[in-house]
Structure 1
Amino acid sequence: MHDLIALAAAAAPSLGGPAEIWAAIVKDFSNLGTPSAMAAFLQVLAIDIVLAGDNAIVVGALAAGLPPDQRKKVIAIGVLAALVLRVAFALMVTWLLGIVGLILAGGLLLLWVAWRMYRDLKGHGAGESAGSPEIEGDEHSGVAPAKSFAAAAWSVAVADVSMSLDNVLAVAGAARDHPGILIVGLIVAVALMGIAANVIAKYIERYRWIGWVGLAVIVYVALKMIYDGAFQVAPYAAAAV
């Protein structure tokens, strides 16, 4: 039991107070020219951009089958909920990183996001949503539209929770050794979802290479999270035997 408690404490690093957070940001961005920091920063930026656009695409596609007034309500709820959830998960990131197995689970979930993004980039298929006029770029989502307002609201809520958690965990997975970049990445994730998600969705649809680059980064980060998460879980499995 004492071994398990010690492992849990070690698995939950603290970002510290405002002074420590600012010092971490200054340190990481003053060393941004190093390969490690630059790689982490570019990965975080790609993740934030692609997942913000993908979140908007999913919300628009799920609402596409509804009447205009209901569709606009579902889209507004979906974007607002995604914004709030990103803020909430970002504030809990230290605690989330300390949950044994969550990095592993987040990596697996991110692989599912990557698979769905791959289907999006490959094109539109039978039975898939034609997209909502309010969201540009959701015409090839690979998502079937919901049949009713309640079904759409529920589907959007589930998608928002999943994608917001994955966004935060993916940023943490990409920049775990660079807390300053991690913090800035979480701020950018919230800002993009609240301000530019629809614009990003449009450009991902127009310039498909952006989506393919983002997909490659997400697959890499997902595999890295699965690898790191497996090592996080292993000591607990051994201690429980």
Structure 2
Amino acid sequence: GMAVAGLAPNERGKIIFYGILAATLLRIMFAAVAVQLLSIIGLTLAGGLLLLWVSWKMWRELRAHAKADGQAEDADTGKPAPKSKREAITQIVMADVSMSLDNVLAVAGAARDHPYILAFGLVLSIALMAMASKLIARLLDRYHWIAYIGLLIIFYVALRMIWDGGFQVYDVVGGNK
């Protein structure tokens, strides 16, 4: 929702579809190797760092939009120029890689030896994402401050992944000899 909020309203549906398609493919790929992923030391840390980078990019975008509210970049509408489709898709895919990895690892950790629970959890997360994306984008158009709450949540998830992944690496590298 945050990634498509800067797009023209008539472009959002198509970009959300591409984002959901990418998230679905990523989750399927990650789920195919979920058990092996759980044993890779540092993967959670790397995903957290990637998500932290996504947070930084979103922060910069929010600040640019806030600044542009006073200085219109688009002379016809008086609004900031919309972001490109490529920028939105890139932002969605980067967030998807990190959050899909985290989501699959969490579901795989909970499901362990029950593949039907893994499949149900992944399908549910994709369905919720598909239903909520357009609603969130509309809410962000109306209430810009909600974007900062979303950013804080993404930032928190990134820090949590870095924290957990850091301890995981520390335990292997030298913490528990």
- Give the structure-2-normalised TM-score: 0.62
SS at match of 2:146: helix
1:80 aligns with 2:17: yes
Contact 1:83 1:193 in 2 (8 A): yes
Match of 1:221 in 2: 157
How far residue 82 of structure 1 moved from its aligned partner, in angstroms, is 1.4
Question: CA 1:159–1:217 in 2, change beyond 3 Å: closer, same or farther?
Answer: closer
Q: Which amino acid aligns with 2:19?
A: A
SS at match of 1:55: coil
SS at match of 1:56: coil
Question: CA 1:209–1:189 in 2, change beyond 3 Å: closer, same or farther?
Answer: farther
Match of 2:51 in 1: 110
Match of 2:93 in 1: 161
**Distance between the aligned counterparts of 1:182 and 1:223, measured in 2?**
25
Higher RCO (C-alpha under 8 Å, 6+ residues apart): 2
Q: Which amino acid aligns with 1:82?
A: G
SS at match of 2:20: helix
SS at match of 1:224: helix
Question: CA 1:229–1:81 in 2, change beyond 3 Å: closer, same or farther?
Answer: same
**Distance between the aligned counterparts of 2:53 and 2:26, measured in 1?**
20
Deviations along 1:133-181, one digit per CA (max 9) or x if unpaired, are xxxxxx77xx9745xxxxx54x455333212112323445777865599
**Distance between the aligned counterparts of 2:145 and 2:118, measured in 1?**
25
How far residue 118 of structure 1 moved from its aligned partner, in angstroms, is 3.3
Question: CA 1:177–1:96 in 2, change beyond 3 Å: closer, same or farther?
Answer: closer
Deviations along 1:30-51, one digit per CA (max 9) or x if unpaired, are xxxxxxxxxxxxxxxxxxxxxx
- Give the structure-1-normalised TM-score: 0.48
Identical aligned residues as a percent: 34
How far residue 99 of structure 1 moved from its aligned partner, in angstroms, is 3.6
Structure 2: runs of 5 or more not aligned: none
Aligned residues: 158
**Distance between the aligned counterparts of 1:210 and 1:185, measured in 2?**
27
